[in-house]
């Protein structure tokens, strides 16, 4: 029953509307690919300012992209309007985007791991410096610089 309703709704979509959706899909793939290429170059150059500036635009593009992908997943038969050459071209565009997404994912993970490693190093150095200069109460309740290995330290995560 639900399938019949979906087919009726699909039949109401005009071929030119389907072609427009496909054109929109191709366009969003191109825009998304360009953005990912820019972001990937910025990540390789450790240009966090550029990456930060691209965030809002990327979020919007991802939202539009997901909407279009969801439409085509739900209405796979709409792609039958394409010739085999057009279908192959669309697959090639999607594969290229997929490769850029994989590269972007790897670069983002590497950048986050690098930031975490740097943060951990800063924390260790700060703790060592703090412990070397701190005086605290020891196990026996005495005031002693020797037993200061358990001192706490606060770290500003925005570093």
Cα of first residue to Cα of last residue in the chain, in angstroms, is 57
Residue 68 has phi, psi (to 5 degrees) of -65, -40
pTM of the model: 0.68
Q: SS3 of 13, please?
A: coil
Q: For the chain, 159 residues long, give each residue's pLDDT as a single digit of tens.
A: 333 444 445 556 777 888 999 999 999 999 999 999 999 999 999 898 999 999 999 999 999 999 999 999 998 888 889 999 999 999 999 999 999 999 999 998 988 887 788 887 887 777 776 666 655 555 666 655 555 555 555 556 654
pLDDT of residue 4: 42
Among 40, 33, 61, 19, residue whose Cα is nearest residue 105: 40
């Amino acid at each position: 029953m639900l399938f019949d309703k979906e087919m009726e709704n699909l039949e109401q979509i005009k071929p030119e509307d389907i072609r427009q959706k496909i054109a929109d899909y191709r366009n969003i793939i191109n825009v998304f690919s360009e953005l990912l290429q820019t972001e990937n170059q910025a990540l390789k150059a450790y240009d966090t300012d550029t990456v930060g500036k691209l965030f809002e635009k990327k979020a919007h593009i991802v939202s539009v992209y997901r909407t279009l992908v969801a439409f085509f997943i739900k209405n796979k038969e709409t792609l039958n309007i394409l010739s085999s050459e057009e279908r192959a071209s669309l697959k090639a565009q999607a594969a290229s985007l997929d490769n850029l997404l994989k590269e972007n994912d790897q670069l983002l993970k590497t950048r986050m791991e690098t930031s975490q490693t740097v943060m951990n190093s800063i924390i260790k150095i700060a703790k060592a410096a703090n412990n070397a200069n701190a005086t605290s109460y020891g196990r026996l309740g005495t005031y002693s610089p020797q037993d200061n290995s358990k001192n706490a330290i606060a770290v500003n995560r925005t570093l």
